[in-house]
Structure 1
Amino acid sequence: MMRSRFLKSAQEPLRAIIGDRLAMIGLVVLLSIIAMALFAPFLSTHEPLSVNEREEGSLLTRTVEDGQVRWVQEAALGGRTLNAADYRDGIGMAVGRDGAVWRFADGEWQELETPLDATLNDVAISPAGSALAVGQGGAVALLADAAQDSDWQRFEAPETTHLSGVAWRDESTALMVGANETIWRRDVASGSFEALESPLGRGMTLNSVATDVDGSAWIVGERGLTLRLEPEDDSLTLERMPTNRDLNHIHMAENGQGLIVGERGTLLARSAPGEQWQSQDAPDSRAMRAGWVTEEGQAFAVGRSSIIFERDGDTWRLMPSDEERHLRTLMVTEDAFYALGSDRFVNRLAPPSGEHWFGTDHLGRDLYSQNVYGSRIALLVGFIGASLVVLIGANVGLIAGYFRGRTETVLMRTVDVMYGIPFEPFALILVLLFEPSLFIVILAVSLLTWRTVARLIRSQVLSLRERPFVKAARVAGASDLRIMYLHIFPNVMPLVFLELAIIVGVSIIAEATLSFLGLGPPQSISWGGILHNARLSGAWRDAWWWNLPPGLFIMITVLSVFFISRSLELVANPRLRARR
């Protein structure tokens, strides 16, 4: 009989929810959010705390406005890193990862369809207009006419070595350099490869090669290794340089001026043929990847994190740039200057897109996945906290209302004292005494929110304890515990369900508040924690996609719980039920 009374008491709230349209909508929404929390690993598109990187062919153009020089980012050239570029007689060519090839003509960039799939590390355009590209795995490809849409010819290299540099000696002969001191001479007319022996023979990596005005060639590599290929007999000699740092790139102007760049801001310059290479002071110590010098002596160098140097006379200065892309190459035309590159970079503060539905935060983490996982903490605190609140409050209310007297006085004065404790300072004291954790958040919610439940249950019990069925149970010899929990408690269950629904929303808001203030669990993801990170980053004013989703999730969840509690109020309050 008692079991049937419990079931009947539990069925009334369910009937009330089903009979209320708004409550049904709230129930569907709440169940959807619960399903999102349960299946978060399957619904999230990325790891919520993983840094997401992005790759594209970055392009920066040099502009001069009101005497101020700036390098401005242009539309990206595809989604692959560009490693090298060359320009001659109105035609430019840029190559990069996975066979990416772009042609520059008449001020426009055009991506070329190629059968290449290897990463290309360098490209050179011959005086006759042929483009030769080299790359990983001994990849060698020739475009007979760089200005036309002709097919690329692929060549079988003698070895599958890593090729990092190429330069034309004349219209039909090219030099290629790479790992293990690889030096190949390629005769395009005969199609032959000839290996040249390095005088060092230590298996070091050669990074770049350039042709000088007298027909010789300069080759640079790691640890300051510099080789000179003599034009008369193609012999190789070691050249002494004023540095032992890795040299990454060399460029020679047609009048003999030269520039070598390397690690830790290394800059070596030559003003005329036959002169010694001189070290020049760099305004920054980061690695430089490419350099370019014009016949007028104007020089540029680019490197990691969008570092760009320009030389004015003999003084190098660091140019302002708002980007953080890694630049790998330069291309100078008759009237424009371009910097290209971009390794994989952190996709920070990206707006919503097909890849990141809610955008990314300041660390490049996917915000959609964070919001999906954040529902777990919100619902966990909401339901566990509400259950503890109802458990404490219902028992205090039952005991105070049933026994009355001194017991009621002590318990109700305790409730009055609890009303005088503000929530946020109380939670802050708990965090200082212990440490931020999910348990502390639930404890702070449950220890302060039960006071209202206790008062409501007590007032209901004061009325029920004088009912005839309670007096009959007492006359029949039922114990106080039996009367409270088997006779009175089933009659206050509608009120308990109402308070449970209300406290779920209150607990969710309380958790979001604590997490927003930085008092939540540090290693957990919650909606309030997402808003906390947005505020700390300083980007919350501009990155609307960071603030809006967690705020909407909190509002929708609390609103759905409110709709459910609104229908349960009709069950708990007979006057409202009769009026309806």
Structure 2
Amino acid sequence: MRSSILKSAAEPARAIVSDRIALTGFIVLAAIVAMALFAPLLATHDPLHINELEEGTLMQRTQAEDGSVRWVLSEPLGDVTVYDAAWQDGVGIAVARGGNVYRYDGQWAALDAPFTESLRAVAVSAAGRALIVGEGGIMALYDDTTGGWQQVDAPESVDLHAVAWSDDDTAWVVGEEETIWRLDLSTDAVSIETLQSPVNRGLDLNGIAFDADGSGLVIGERGVVLQFDPDNDSFSLLRLPTNRTLNDIHLTADGTGLIVGERGTLLAREGADADWVVEDAPDSRAIRAGWIGSEGEAIAVARNGIIMERHGDGWHLASTQGARHLRTLMVTEDHFYALGSDRFVNRLSPPTSEHWFGTDHLGRDLYSQNVYGSRIALLVGFLGAALVVLIGANVGLIAGYFRGRTETVLMRTVDVMYGIPFEPFALILVLLFEPSLLIVILAVSLLTWRTVARLIRSQVLSLRERPFVKAARVAGASDLRIMYIHIFPNVMPLVFLELAIIVGVSIIAEATLSFLGLGPPQSISWGGILHNARLSGAWRDAWWWNLPPGIFIMITVLSVFFISRSLELVANPRLRARR
């Protein structure tokens, strides 16, 4: 008897091997099963990790023939954040994280700099000397005429945030804990003088600029502004109408000025003797750098690719390309450049060598999501199909064997189940309980078993009248033994056929529920990936987001269909006869 069961189970395997299309489907399905089993090894990223990038972002201001202005991305300077840039008389210098320095003379080129520390600020003098400062008190002079470097020893190891020249031989440096240094660079032996801040509260100072008369302003945390008086050679506290952290200051030769800071802070003055006035910003993000011209035109750059411009009637958001975090501005005679950036989310990136299927709206790797998504699809497919066949086969066996009132009750139950639509039934289950993998499997199995029950019943009705069943009954075999030992092996080919078909149906059903938002939360599935694409609003443009899960669903269901196609020959002797 056991050999007959094994023989019945071996028939589907032989049918699959003898059919090339079915064998191809089996190989594809086996590959998808292997992908699900080894998903942690095959995934290139954590599927829920928000991937970030860092680069030396460079954006250039362009003007079309119709007068419209747009900031467009140029080739990045490198793969590290650019913190500051300065330009003077045809020479531009940009400094970045990790000791990287770039020179601009119409074209950008990396300089061979002797640093590993992050460089935070740079200022270029009229004589062509660039003073660069950064973390840990790093200071160095770069002479553009000779290309030589001169390292300057700092009085103490503090992070330096800004630098400015008051004349060709004097530079000022400010940094953390209210550090203010004045450097005399008239000789090779650089002398450094430490000046006292009148605040003395250990605040960070972030920017410094000088007027044409030698007076200067230093800005910093909590709205601190220090005014330098060259007559008594000291600083005093200047009260401005803000207490937000100030990040950058720019003054023109005629005293026009701009100060920018956190939460969209914009302060401007129209001349050296004018008052500072708070101006309305079109965005509340942190503004990192600003520039103002003698005619009152101004530009400010902020996080997330925000660039604001002022042209007489107030500030307006400029049209920009990308959402890179911007940190500094460099203005030449002919061009405006915005540079950055901090680490930014790699949103909606098309396929690249790092992200084979691109990224979604949160910067998550879609290849890894699709690999992990196979787990839910196959789990629901096989577990749901097994449960469907288990319920349907037993109901069909009992109804077909006992007939009479038992058959009537069971078959009328099947008829009622046919009248229940799938999606509303699943929605009610979710509302009654909560979204989970168990609910998805129940929604699939509680409705799909009805077809299996009718097919098995019709087969059993024929088998129960066969001589071998009557002989077993005469021999005293119990009803349970007759059903599961004598009849069931003969319906196993049909069971295998239905199992293969229901696997495909279950996978489509799970994808449908997940696409509608009824799938298990915090789980990754192919339908869930499509659901997220729809919710993001980017599914019409981000083809790389929609296409892979759709293809995976299609080839999985097709492979199961190809397998079931060969199993029909086992379940239906008439088809074998035609072959």
TM-score bin, normalised by smaller chain: over 0.9
Match of 1:480 in 2: 479
Mean alpha-carbon deviation: is it higher for 305-314 or for 343-352?
Answer: 305-314
Q: How does 1:84-233 map to 2 (within 5 A)?
A: 84-106=84-106, 108-145=107-144, 150-188=147-185, 189-231=188-230
Mean alpha-carbon deviation: is it higher for 261-270 or for 528-537?
Answer: 261-270
Aligned-residue offset at 1:526: 0.8
Aligned residues: 576
Q: How far apart, in 1, do the equivalents of 2:520 and 2:61 lie?
A: 47
Contact kept, 8 Å, 1:83 with 1:341, in 2: the verdict is yes
Check 1:498–1:163 CA distance in 2 against 1; reply closer, same or farther (3 A cut): same
Q: How far apart, in 2, do the equivalents of 1:259 and 1:248 lie?
A: 11
| Structure 2 gaps, min length 5 | none
Q: How far apart, in 2, do the equivalents of 1:281 and 1:496 lie?
A: 72
Aligned-residue offset at 1:577: 2.4
Check 1:171–1:568 CA distance in 2 against 1; reply closer, same or farther (3 A cut): same
1:240-281 CA distances to partner (integer Å, 9 max, x unpaired)? Answer: 333332221111223333222222333333333355444444
Aligned-residue offset at 1:233: 5.9
What is the SS of the residue equivalent to 2:136?
Answer: helix
1:82-133 CA distances to partner (integer Å, 9 max, x unpaired)? Answer: 2211111111112222223222212x22233333222211111111111121
Aligned-residue offset at 1:192: 3.4
Aligned-residue offset at 1:446: 0.8
1:469-493 CA distances to partner (integer Å, 9 max, x unpaired)? Answer: 2111111100000000011111111
Check 1:415–1:270 CA distance in 2 against 1; reply closer, same or farther (3 A cut): closer
Q: How does 1:27-46 map to 2 (within 5 A)?
A: 27-46=26-45
Aligned-residue offset at 1:552: 0.7
1:408-429 CA distances to partner (integer Å, 9 max, x unpaired)? Answer: 2222222222222222222222
The AA in structure 2 aligned to 1:237 is S
The AA in structure 2 aligned to 1:82 is V
Match of 2:528 in 1: 529
Contact kept, 8 Å, 1:257 with 1:295, in 2: the verdict is yes
| Structure 1 gaps, min length 5 | none
Q: How far apart, in 1, do the equivalents of 2:387 and 2:176 lie?
A: 67
1:396-441 CA distances to partner (integer Å, 9 max, x unpaired)? Answer: 1111111122222222222222222222222222223322221121
Q: How far apart, in 2, do the equivalents of 1:542 and 1:313 lie?
A: 37
What is the SS of the residue equivalent to 1:421?
Answer: coil
Q: How far apart, in 2, do the equivalents of 1:236 and 1:412 lie?
A: 94
Q: How far apart, in 1, do the equivalents of 2:438 and 2:75 lie?
A: 49
Mean alpha-carbon deviation: is it higher for 487-496 or for 278-287?
Answer: 278-287
What is the SS of the residue equivalent to 2:327?
Answer: strand
The AA in structure 1 aligned to 2:457 is R
Match of 1:82 in 2: 82
How many percent identity over aligned positions? 72
Check 1:352–1:401 CA distance in 2 against 1; reply closer, same or farther (3 A cut): same
Q: How far apart, in 2, do the equivalents of 1:332 and 1:449 lie?
A: 69
Check 1:541–1:409 CA distance in 2 against 1; reply closer, same or farther (3 A cut): same
Check 1:454–1:265 CA distance in 2 against 1; reply closer, same or farther (3 A cut): closer
The AA in structure 1 aligned to 2:166 is R
Mean alpha-carbon deviation: is it higher for 522-531 or for 20-29?
Answer: 20-29
Match of 1:393 in 2: 392
**TM-score, normalised relative to structure 1:** 0.94
Q: How far apart, in 1, do the equivalents of 2:255 and 2:508 lie?
A: 71
Contact kept, 8 Å, 1:211 with 1:217, in 2: the verdict is yes
Mean alpha-carbon deviation: is it higher for 543-552 or for 316-325?
Answer: 316-325
Match of 2:515 in 1: 516
Check 1:280–1:453 CA distance in 2 against 1; reply closer, same or farther (3 A cut): closer
The AA in structure 2 aligned to 1:524 is S
User: RMSD value over aligned CA atoms?
Assistant: 2.1
What is the SS of the residue equivalent to 1:541?
Answer: coil
1:257 aligns with 2:256: yes
1:1-55 CA distances to partner (integer Å, 9 max, x unpaired)? Answer: x222222221222222222222222222212211211221222122212222222
Q: How does 1:343-362 map to 2 (within 5 A)?
A: 343-362=342-361
Match of 2:555 in 1: 556
Aligned-residue offset at 1:572: 1.7
Match of 1:342 in 2: 341
Q: How far apart, in 1, do the equivalents of 2:313 and 2:538 lie?
A: 40
Q: How far apart, in 1, do the equivalents of 2:92 and 2:124 lie?
A: 8
Q: How far apart, in 2, do the equivalents of 1:544 and 1:250 lie?
A: 44
Aligned-residue offset at 1:573: 1.8
Match of 2:46 in 1: 47
The AA in structure 1 aligned to 2:184 is D
Mean alpha-carbon deviation: is it higher for 464-473 or for 382-391?
Answer: 464-473
Match of 1:10 in 2: 9
What is the SS of the residue equivalent to 1:169?
Answer: strand
What is the SS of the residue equivalent to 1:250?
Answer: strand
1:327-385 CA distances to partner (integer Å, 9 max, x unpaired)? Answer: 21111111222222222222111101111111111121111111111111101110111
1:454 aligns with 2:453: yes
What is the SS of the residue equivalent to 1:361?
Answer: coil
Mean alpha-carbon deviation: is it higher for 237-246 or for 49-58?
Answer: 237-246
Check 1:272–1:491 CA distance in 2 against 1; reply closer, same or farther (3 A cut): same
What is the SS of the residue equivalent to 1:46?
Answer: coil
Check 1:407–1:181 CA distance in 2 against 1; reply closer, same or farther (3 A cut): same
